[in-house]
Structure 1
Amino acid sequence: MSAAQGNTLRAALVAVVCVLAALAAGLQVFASSGLGAAGHVALALCVVAATLWISEALPLFVTSLLVLLGCLTWLAPSLRGAGRAIDDAAFLAPFFSDTILLFFGGFALSAALQRVHLDEALARAILERAGTSPRRVVFALLGTTAFLSMWLSNTATAAMMMALAVPIARTLPPENRWRIALLLAVPLGANLGGLGTPIGSPPNAIAMEALARIDARPSFLAWMALGIPGVLVMCTLAGGLLVRFYRDGEPELRLPPAPAAATHRTARARLTLLVASATALLWLTGDLHGWSAGTVGLACAISLFGSGLLAPTELRALPWEVLLLMGGGLCLGRAVELSGLASWALAQTPIATLGPTGAVVLFGGAAALLSALMSNTAAANLVLAVVLGLEELPREPILVAVAFACSLSMPLPVSTPPNAMAFASGEVSARDLVKIGTATTVLGLLLFFTTAPLWWRLIGPLFRAAS
């Protein structure tokens, strides 16, 4: 079958699923089990969104806008017809929520740091101290990428670190297996670093928004207290796997020379560093000054663009498609909640009998499986929307588990942008990515599910302090 035929078949299947979902909503096929008209509409929107997000028949952000359109033109009238006083703002607000502002500020800060090459300067400073041992350089690449990924886009971090890792790897003979380990350290670090902070990955921020909806408002620092230990443990284990799988003698490595222009030492760079430091400090001290993480992100963006550290043209270069994707997912979550779909779906299954630990494993596993096949942002949106309807069980640990499971899922070359970058380098085979990605995913999930109850007893109160 040719690529064109495959695309045609995929489009046809997507169209069939979407039509059937709309038809089922119109006929209210689950009315006998208690699902109302609005619930049927929300279910149809979920099926259509999931189908389009998995198939990528449309750009991901277009699907998010389609969700918004469906909520405004189909779900809202259905809710009003049932006597609910629903304003369109309920579905528009997620696109400019605190979560979106948090990531908007994070993206602006990332762009400013990259403009003056402060991120590259930090990476080089760390790698220069790693020496020439392949083992030490593997761990240095892994740790540096993970640290940067906590604060910057994991895609941008992976792109920058791959630019450093490829020349280092190419100082070795083509047949030396350390080359593979060096390059795989970058996507692993970028994926795992996202666990560490609320801005480390979109699923984290979406989970923070969901936690706020149930009046659990963890601070930026509280999330770090939960996530940083996971990053440290998983990076250590992932580095150990890389060394075990790809050890090949003890050759000497060399870091390629730095570019001649030292833009990270200019006055602009120092001012950028000042804004970045102030932003990080405000994020970490939210309990003291009372600003939300999104408010701090907004102040950061205003400072960067208002001071000229970022030009107006650079506003257009920010990844707006990611913000729209997140907004659409949050909007879908509101649809599932307001329509009663979440409560109905949970009433059809014995979720409450599983207990908190069983629910963590069930929803975390589902999130990891979906994230392997589709955008982890889209997967988090779908699963978190259902978890919000769980009123019989403590939802805080389940929401956090879903976010972590999305970040830990990296078994395929297409699972995350950093994986795809490593594969696109031409130095790493799909088989290598699947082997190390699957091993890291399985090990991470097993470790998380077995240690989460104990760790949550220690850190969990921080997530309920404001409730």
Structure 2
Amino acid sequence: MGLFETLRFRVLPYWKTYILVLLPLILLPLPVIGQGKEARAGYVIIIMALYWMTEALPLAVTSLLPVVLFPLLGIMSTGKVCTAYMKETNMMFIGGLMVALTIEHCNLHKRIALRVLLLVGASPRWLMLGFMLTTMFLSMWISNTATTAMMVPIVEAVVQELFKDGDEEMKRDPNVRMVPDGMSTCSSNNTLEIDLDSSEGVSQNLEAVSIDSIADVGKSCQELTSPTDQRSYSSPTSEYKQTIRTCTLMSIAYASNIGGTGSLIGSSPQLALKGILDELYGSAPGLNFASWMAFNVPGMLINTFLAWIWLQCLFLGFKRTSADANAQAAVVKKLIRTKYEELGPMTFHELATLVLFILCVALWFFRDPQFITGWAEFVPAVEVDDATAVMTIVLLLFIIPAKPKFWNCHTGERNEGPSPALLEWKLVQDRLPWGIVLLLGGGFALSDASKASGLSSWLGDQLAVLSFLPPFAIMLIICIMTAAITEVASNTATANVLLPILAEMAVTIKVNPLFLMLPATVTCSYAFMLPVATPPNAIVFAAGKMNPVDMVKAGLLMNIVCVVVICLLMASFGSFIFGFDEFPDWALPQVKNATMTTLSQFSNCTSP
């Protein structure tokens, strides 16, 4: 057996094992030769960063390493490390996920999606905009993965209706058929089967879908493509149909990634930012639900609109709509209306969930909106944060019945027992992505250890060499670097590693920490180029049997556009909201702490 065969059959299949075992051994000189806690903390952080990037261990399992390594290396006590896994931000995240699960459970998200599609035009361009706006809005509140999985079968059904002719227009023969149970599979008739309720399964994965599992999905879909299916794309009509499908599916992946940045609970990187800021500075930076939305919603809308324009330029062009296209649009609109009517009238379950969801958002938004007195100000002596608001709503979800039967005793009807609540614990137990909670907790543990060991201060001092550059240039470089890393690594892991370093770097070069940390956090969600970059990318890549080159070609410019937009907004609109004109007083204690640490190290080095 030659060297190539040995590498292929005996080495490459076990590459994760080699990384898992050899990486700690290769980096062992760092804590052994290096002096102080900084080197030992850096050893753990480098190992976790590479494990997260390569997924040598599951992401959630890697997040548990601080509980083992930080106490054994003398960096932090076990108790202090464990408290990082259940901070206020984690509780807010869990509460937000429970509200999202209730929305998915009662199919409220599907009703919203179909209703929005009825309001927009039914031509391919306007339908794509409708899909993007719907996906963007839903991704602000529920899992990006669940939103994308729900929209994919609707897209497939609409594309099929667009290309039916004559008497067959109203007879549905789509490539997507409803699956009673299960998430998504590739069927024997060369089509991707995705249940309209598939979000119930994939929402468990959220942002932590395995790279290998994504590759397997794509591979299995491609292997099941028959010669007949290949021939069907040989005609111009079939090629245009595939173009429409690719363009529309790609648009919902982009809208899902961008929409996740619109609210503080839309994606996990912003929760990592909030937790790290709370740990370093408390509530002084003024980052809350209202200020986040005030800054990021305009950027979200701008980037979504630019994505819509760019995908049209790349795939559809700007030809005028023909009479045939108008007739097809009417058929599609009728299909959407039929699917909407199939949902039936709005149930009490949906209505109660909608009311509680609106109340939850209002409690978040008006807790401390800055421009008026928030409701939390009326609670004296203690600080009330967003976790209290969302957990209040969660308790109501577990109390209010989904099908009230209070009046049965008066009507004489037989009472079959109490109604289940709007949200039941079994649903939460089965579908809440507990791994993401551990991922956030592991990131907070890294942040605490970086601060306690002095590593973040040391890294900030080393990065001071960039202080000769204008702050805008530094921010742009950081965002480009973050966008590149998040294409191959979990966005939550990327945020957890970078944000503590950026906090110290900002103090060192005397700029507002939010000026560097906020755009880097948003950029963690700007992953458009690779199927493995985010779960939404992987879902649409497998569903549309896309060419990877098309995704890279479209995603490269989108990465650049989104980074430029967020940087320009930070330098203009962001300064108005957060005040970037001068170094803030709330960061001064950090400067003093960094100075005292440096002086202490200097005195230790010079003492006999």
How high is the TM-score relative to the length of structure 1? Answer: 0.91
Q: 1:458 to 1:157 in 2, by over 3 A?
A: same
Partner residue, 1:448: 566
Please say if 1:374 is aligned against 2:489. Answer: yes
Normalized per residue, which structure has more helix? 1
Q: 1:382 to 1:264 in 2, by over 3 A?
A: farther
Q: Distance between the aligned counterparts of 2:118 and 2:450, measured in 1?
A: 51
The SS at the match of 1:372 is coil
C-alpha displacement of 1:286: 1.0
Equivalent residue letter for 1:205: L
Q: Distance between the aligned counterparts of 2:344 and 2:105, measured in 1?
A: 9
Residue among 439, 447, 450 paired with 1:333: 447
Please say if 1:175 is aligned against 2:239. Answer: yes
Structure 2: state its 5+ residue gaps.
1-6, 164-236, 369-373, 377-383, 401-420, 588-608
**Matched-pair contact (CA < 8 Å) for 1:208–1:217:** no
Equivalent residue letter for 1:282: L
Deviation larger for 88-97 or 318-327: 88-97
CA deviation string 1:330-352 (max 9, x = no partner): 11111111111111122223133
Residue among 209, 214, 229 paired with 2:298: 229
C-alpha displacement of 1:281: 0.8
C-alpha displacement of 1:263: 6.8
Deviation larger for 167-176 or 48-57: 167-176
Q: Distance between the aligned counterparts of 2:48 and 2:450, measured in 1?
A: 12
**Matched-pair contact (CA < 8 Å) for 1:150–1:197:** yes
Please say if 1:361 is aligned against 2:361. Answer: no
Please say if 1:294 is aligned against 2:387. Answer: yes
Q: 1:269 to 1:232 in 2, by over 3 A?
A: same
Structure 1: state its 5+ residue gaps.
80-85
Equivalent residue letter for 1:361: L
Partner residue, 1:83: none
Q: Distance between the aligned counterparts of 1:3 and 1:303, measured in 2?
A: 56
Partner residue, 2:250: 184
Please say if 1:460 is aligned against 2:574. Answer: no
Equivalent residue letter for 2:147: T
Q: 1:312 to 1:11 in 2, by over 3 A?
A: same
**Matched-pair contact (CA < 8 Å) for 2:526–2:562:** yes
Q: Distance between the aligned counterparts of 1:135 and 1:90, measured in 2?
A: 54
Equivalent residue letter for 1:26: V
Partner residue, 1:274: 355
Deviation larger for 311-320 or 250-259: 250-259
Q: Distance between the aligned counterparts of 1:351 and 1:462, measured in 2?
A: 18
Q: Distance between the aligned counterparts of 1:3 and 1:395, measured in 2?
A: 49
Q: CA RMSD in A?
A: 2.3
C-alpha displacement of 1:216: 1.5
Q: 1:259 to 1:72 in 2, by over 3 A?
A: farther
Q: Distance between the aligned counterparts of 1:188 and 1:154, measured in 2?
A: 10
Structure showing greater radius of gyration is 2
C-alpha displacement of 1:457: 1.6
Residues 138-153 of structure 1: matches in 2 within 5 Å?
A: 138-153=128-143
**Matched-pair contact (CA < 8 Å) for 2:246–2:544:** no
Residues 295-314 of structure 1: matches in 2 within 5 Å?
A: 295-307=388-400, 308-314=421-427
Q: Aligned residues, how many? A: 451
Partner residue, 2:435: 321
**Matched-pair contact (CA < 8 Å) for 2:515–2:580:** no
Equivalent residue letter for 1:53: W
Equivalent residue letter for 1:127: L
Q: 1:95 to 1:300 in 2, by over 3 A?
A: farther
**Matched-pair contact (CA < 8 Å) for 2:482–2:524:** yes
Please say if 1:200 is aligned against 2:266. Answer: yes
Q: 1:117 to 1:4 in 2, by over 3 A?
A: farther
CA deviation string 1:215-252 (max 9, x = no partner): 32322111001000001100110000111111166433
Partner residue, 2:460: 346
Q: Distance between the aligned counterparts of 2:132 and 2:9, measured in 1?
A: 36
**Matched-pair contact (CA < 8 Å) for 2:95–2:391:** yes
Please say if 1:8 is aligned against 2:122. Answer: no
How high is the TM-score relative to the length of structure 2? Answer: 0.70
Give % identity.
Answer: 26
**Matched-pair contact (CA < 8 Å) for 2:20–2:56:** yes
**Matched-pair contact (CA < 8 Å) for 2:299–2:569:** no
**Matched-pair contact (CA < 8 Å) for 2:101–2:428:** no
Residues 88-237 of structure 1: matches in 2 within 5 Å?
A: 88-171=78-161, 172=163, 173-176=237-240, 177-212=243-278, 213-214=280-281, 215-237=284-306
Please say if 1:244 is aligned against 2:313. Answer: yes
Q: 1:22 to 1:315 in 2, by over 3 A?
A: farther
Q: Distance between the aligned counterparts of 1:144 and 1:216, measured in 2?
A: 32
The SS at the match of 1:231 is helix
Deviation larger for 260-269 or 314-323: 260-269
